[in-house]
Amino acid sequence: MRIDRVEATSIFDTRGRATVETTLFAHTFSATASVPSGKSTGEYEACELRDPDGGVTRAVANVNGEIARALTGQRFESLDALDAFLVSLDGTPDKSRLGANALLSVSIAAMRLSALLEGVPLWGAIAKRAGTTPAAPRLYVNVMNGGAHASFKLPFQEYILVISGETPSAFSMAQEMFTKLGERLGRVPMGDEGGYAPTFDTLERPFELLAELVKEFPNTSIAIDAAASQLFHDDTYRLLGKSYTPEELARLYKSLAARFPIDSIEDPYDENAHTDFTRLTAMIGEKILIIGDDLTVTNPTRIKEAARNKEINSVLIKPNQIGTVGEALQAVREVSAARLKTIASHRSGETEDTFIADFAYGVGAYGLKAGGFAQKERLLKYNRLVAIGDEAGTV
């Protein structure tokens, strides 16, 4: 593939913060990609380059300047070669010089452009590149926001409904459940990820509410993202004003998993609490998914390590945690090699880019976590998944 022109600009994400959008041109074709941004970011994520005032003018300038000069007119044998070139151009281990946001916008746009040039759907191009079998993921729909996404009104960051089955019917079931939950909650604020942001007096109440809903709908269950790095202070975890030691927290998770139809717990402990992860996975990992996010940060080396120590049995994959599509696909390969499950994920600050839906379908991910229905940017991802199902039936 030969890139004729590179153009970047800054757009606003769902939080009204600036983010990078890049368009690549080749022949008469062009492809655009924009990158999401996290709030409860992991300590070991690739570096999102921000100006001191929070803007992305330097990241955009890096794409329009140094990256554009290096790519324009260059012929790349493969997308892996292009991504490797971007990584070496940056030259830092955490992509802090040019910015992981700058690099990823180029990397996704290149993947999209190459699919266009080949005349294949994006998910198909991803599957071919990754050597994976495309398949529809389960939906992980965020219905209640807490933690850093809702000023800690609820202790855990995300309360999620997991819905399996054919995407169109799973999607409409999820919408019905979302609406019903809204009616039961009454007027409450909304959180960062397009889910409700209520307040409850007890830890159990949100689980009771969701369990009632799950009883009414087949093939559904509950997931949480504890995002526990955010709850960790002075060696203990603070939940609703009470402190829990790691052992007490393990007992709490075990009892929640015994009492409620729980599918998974993401980031149950702080990102550096490796042995606590291992103990919990040994305790309840046969029954539910223990998912690494801040722990593994889509980093192939960290995933390998966590798998070797049996810290988790599933991994969240977010391309912007690592900075290029090629490395995110390598991360998926590590997940599969360790026989763990992949859950592809959006970020809490999102754009209209639906790449993550094609990514989830293309790699045959176990799940796609794409937020709640109160924000168009989240809905677009689920809609794209439905459209992919149609495409897959016809190509």
Give burial (CB, 10 Å; 0-12/13-18/19+) of 334. buried
Q: Shortest approach of ligand 2PG to residue 43 CB, angstroms?
A: 12
Judged by beta carbon distances under 5 to 8 A according to partner kind, the member of ligand 2PG, Mg ion, none in contact with residue 350 is none
Judged by beta carbon distances under 5 to 8 A according to partner kind, the member of Mg ion, ligand 2PG, none in contact with residue 270 is none
Choose which of 3, 14, 38, 298 interacts with ligand 2PG (CB under 6 A): 38
Please state, in angstroms and rounded to a whole number, the distance separating the CA atoms of residues 260 and 236: 24
- For ligand 2PG, the closer of residues 34 and 348 by Cβ is 348
Please state, in angstroms and rounded to a whole number, the distance separating the CA atoms of residues 311 and 106: 33
Please state, in angstroms and rounded to a whole number, the distance separating the CA atoms of residues 382 and 354: 9
- For ligand 2PG, the closer of residues 32 and 41 by Cβ is 41
Choosing from 193, 327, 334, 350, the catalytic residue is 193
Q: What is the DSSP letter of 255?
A: H
Those residues with Cβ within 8 angstroms of residue 218's Cβ, 6 or more apart along the chain or in another chain? none
Judged by beta carbon distances under 5 to 8 A according to partner kind, the member of Mg ion, ligand 2PG, none in contact with residue 347 is ligand 2PG
Choose which of 19, 40, 132, 375 interacts with ligand 2PG (CB under 6 A): 40
Stretch that binds ligand 2PG, among 15-23, 35-43, 202-210, 243-251 (CB under 6 A): 35-43
> What token pair was written down for 271?
């990102």
Site for ligand 2PG in 307-366 (CB under 6 A): 316, 345, 347-348
Please state, in angstroms and rounded to a whole number, the distance separating the CA atoms of residues 325 and 338: 20
Please state, in angstroms and rounded to a whole number, the distance separating the CA atoms of residues 139 and 143: 12
Among 61, 60, 80, CA closest to 126: 80
Give burial (CB, 10 Å; 0-12/13-18/19+) of 54. exposed
Choose which of 83, 225, 263, 270 interacts with ligand 2PG (CB under 6 A): 225
Annotation says 215 is catalytic:
no
Choosing from 48, 158, 271, 318, the catalytic residue is 318
Q: Helix, strand, or coil here: 168?
A: helix
**E strand or H helix at 141, and its extent?**
strand 138-145
State the DSSP string of 290-302: EEESTTTTT-HHH
Stretch that binds Mg ion, among 50-58, 66-74, 83-91, 293-301 (CB under 5 A): 293-301
- CB-based closest residue to ligand 2PG: 38
Site for ligand 2PG in 235-264 (CB under 6 A): none
- For ligand 2PG, the closer of residues 121 and 206 by Cβ is 206
Based on its alpha-carbon atoms, the radius of gyration of the chain, rounded to whole angstroms, reads 20
Please state, in angstroms and rounded to a whole number, the distance separating the CA atoms of residues 153 and 128: 43
225 touches Mg ion (CB under 5 A):
yes
Length of the chain: 395
Please state, in angstroms and rounded to a whole number, the distance separating the CA atoms of residues 85 and 330: 16
293 touches ligand 2PG (CB under 6 A):
yes
Q: Shortest approach of ligand 2PG to residue 66 CB, angstroms?
A: 27
Residues 152, 239 contacting (CB under 8 angstroms): no
Q: Shortest approach of Mg ion to residue 244 CB, angstroms?
A: 19
Annotation says 318 is catalytic:
yes
334 touches Mg ion (CB under 5 A):
no
229 touches ligand 2PG (CB under 6 A):
no
Site for Mg ion in 241-280 (CB under 5 A): 266
| Residues contributing to the site for Mg ion (CB under 5 A) | 225, 266, 293
The residues annotated with a catalytic role in the active site are 193, 318
| Residues contributing to the site for ligand 2PG (CB under 6 A) | 38-41, 157-158, 193, 225, 227, 293, 316, 345, 347-348
